[in-house]
Amino acid sequence: MIRTEFWFLIVLAFVWIIIAIIQDLRKREVANWLNFSFVAVALVYRVFLSILLWDYRYFVYGAAGFAIFFVFANFFYYARIFAGGDAKLLMALGAVFPFSVFLL
């Protein structure tokens, strides 16, 4: 069961993905500002959540998810499965994915 702290991140992910889909269909690319802002908002939210709840694991799991998905995204990019914007969006989703649901 997903904890209530992560519903904001899940809704945020859906909104960003919808914007990325629209942008990809119109211009055939996903802008860097969209992906980098997604990573920043997700990790800053996790920092504030960690401070608010006095539990560093919320941020650590977000950073670890980003790192794990960074490896996958680079693999997909260099295997020519994804383009650059798609790979960056995958990295951002790694920061959002609630790993702590399984580990906390």
- How confident is the model over 55-92, as pLDDT tens digits? 888 888 889 999 999 999 999 999 998 888 888 999 99
Q: Where are the alpha helices (DSSP H) in 1-104?
A: 7-27, 32-53, 57-78, 84-96, 100-103
Within 8 A by CB and 6+ apart from 82, the residues are: 73, 76, 90
pTM of the model: 0.81
Q: Is residue 58 within 8 Å of 46, Cβ to Cβ?
A: yes
* pLDDT for the residue 48: 93
Range of the domain at 81: 4-103
Region 52-57: mean pLDDT is: 88
Indicate the number of domains in the chain: 1
Closest to 19 (Cα-Cα) out of 5, 8, 33: 33
- How confident is the model over 3-35, as pLDDT tens digits? 777 788 889 899 999 998 999 899 888 888 988
Does 102 score more than 90 pLDDT? no
CA–CA distance, 77 with 84 (Å, rounded to integer): 7
